[in-house]
């Protein structure tokens, strides 16, 4: 399984592999791979002859230096995990200076109103960082398909918008959330939780499920109040935001409309000292 550190040798290798109707599937990651990532790679493997996984902790999308520093980096373990899926997965693990051509800064994109909601509001500059690194990676890998998890549903919508802005010829594929047995969405950041807090985090999904159930007969305002009061009782969990939003506009709903689709979004700090952040959306429709 080849691992490339520089773009030129990756591109030379990809050019030698691209023949006939072969398609390239691409899974961009920040490493510390878990089953959620592996599910994305499995989808890519089932739909493409060539699969590239990038492993790159992207500095421009972090607003918090501590979070960037503590983000888990486990390249050899990641390579071994990918090998359990397929021998020919191509890994691209560049260093920041090379990928950014010595200029590690974000472009400024006009993603429109969806970028002002939730993560855009709470983590200024985050989506510009994500957009910048993906534009660079798509230029290098030139994938036909790129795979993203719905755990970061807003990111998925932003990536679709990015493609419409840059006109890069790649089809974006959204894949369902992959959860631990407790219901906690798989995330590389879960690795930083103590066993106690990881167990306590199961409460997040339980709450989302109850919201989904009650959405049929309760208003968004009632549900917001209920979620806040439930989190107030949780010592290990600090609610950052909870919103029920339209899945297209990502605008918080004031009133339910028939035939509109909604999703509940939640961000919670667990063990605030180590700044762990989890976004766990679930679907709600009337």
- Closest approach, Cβ 118 to ligand PAF, in A, equals 15
- As given in the structure block, the two tokens for residue 49 are 């002859």
- Closest approach, Cβ 204 to ligand PAF, in A, equals 19
Q: Rule CB under 6 A: say whether 90 interacts with ligand PAF.
A: no
- Closest approach, Cβ 134 to ligand PAF, in A, equals 6
Backbone angles phi, psi at 203, to 5 degrees: -60, -30
- Closest approach, Cβ 54 to ligand PAF, in A, equals 7
By beta-carbon proximity to ligand PAF, the closer residue of 68 and 247 is 68
By beta-carbon proximity to ligand PAF, the closer residue of 130 and 175 is 130
- As given in the structure block, the two tokens for residue 282 are 């679930």
- Binding to ligand PAF, residues 4-33 (CB under 6 A): 28-30
How far apart CA 153 and CA 174 sit, in angstroms, is: 9
Q: Which of 34, 37, 126, 277 is catalytic?
A: 37
- Closest approach, Cβ 172 to ligand PAF, in A, equals 11
The answer to whether the CB of 52 falls within 8 A of the CB of 170 is no
- Binding to ligand PAF, residues 57-86 (CB under 6 A): 58, 61
Q: Which stretch binds ligand PAF (CB under 6 A): 70-78, 98-106, 112-120, 127-135?
A: 127-135
Tell how strand 171-175 and strand 282-285 pair up: unpaired
By beta-carbon proximity to ligand PAF, the closer residue of 30 and 193 is 30
The answer to whether the CB of 111 falls within 8 A of the CB of 24 is no
Q: Rule CB under 6 A: say whether 150 interacts with ligand PAF.
A: no
How far apart CA 239 and CA 266 sit, in angstroms, is: 8
Of residues 280, 231, 222, 228, the one with CA closest to residue 255: 222
Residue 37 falls in the annotated catalytic set: yes
How is 144-169 classified by DSSP, letter by letter? SEEEEEGGGHHHHHHHHHHHHHH--S
Q: Rule CB under 6 A: say whether 91 interacts with ligand PAF.
A: no
The answer to whether the CB of 29 falls within 8 A of the CB of 51 is no
By beta-carbon proximity to ligand PAF, the closer residue of 58 and 201 is 58
How far apart CA 157 and CA 281 sit, in angstroms, is: 13
- Of 133, 140, 185, 266, the residue at the interface with ligand PAF (CB under 6 A) is 133
Q: Any idea which residues carry the catalytic annotation? A: 37
The site for ligand PAF (CB under 6 A) is made up of 28-30, 58, 61, 130, 133-134, 152, 155
């Amino acid at each position: 399984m080849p691992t490339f550190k520089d773009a030129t040798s990756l591109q030379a290798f990809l050019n030698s592999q691209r023949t006939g109707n072969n398609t390239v599937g691409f899974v961009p990651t920040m490493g510390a791979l878990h089953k959620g990532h592996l599910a994305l790679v499995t989808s890519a493997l089932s739909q493409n002859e060539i699969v590239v996984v990038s492993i790159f902790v992207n500095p421009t999308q972090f607003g918090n230096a501590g979070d960037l520093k503590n983000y888990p980096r486990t390249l050899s373990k990641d390579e071994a995990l990918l090998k359990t899926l397929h021998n020919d997965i191509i890994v691209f693990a560049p260093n920041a200076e090379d990928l950014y051509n010595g200029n590690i800064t974000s472009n400024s994109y006009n993603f429109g109103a969806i970028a002002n909601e939730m993560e855009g509001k709470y983590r200024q500059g985050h989506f510009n960082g994500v957009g910048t690194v993906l534009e660079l990676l798509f230029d290098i890998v030139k994938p036909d398909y790129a795979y993203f998890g719905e755990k970061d549903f807003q990111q998925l919508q932003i990536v679709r918008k990015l493609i419409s802005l840059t006109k890069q010829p790649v089809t974006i594929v959204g894949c369902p959330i992959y959860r631990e047995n407790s219901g906690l969405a798989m995330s590389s950041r879960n690795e930083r939780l103590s066993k106690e807090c990881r167990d306590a985090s199961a409460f997040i999904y339980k709450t989302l499920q109850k919201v989904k159930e009650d959405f049929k007969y309760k208003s968004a305002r009632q549900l917001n109040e209920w979620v806040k009061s439930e989190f107030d009782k949780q010592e290990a969990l600090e609610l950052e935001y909870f919103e029920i939003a339209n899945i297209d506009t990502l605008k918080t709903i004031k009133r339910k409309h028939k035939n509109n689709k909604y999703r509940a979004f939640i961000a919670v700090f667990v063990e605030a000292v180590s700044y762990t952040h989890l976004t766990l959306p679930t679907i709600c429709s009337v």
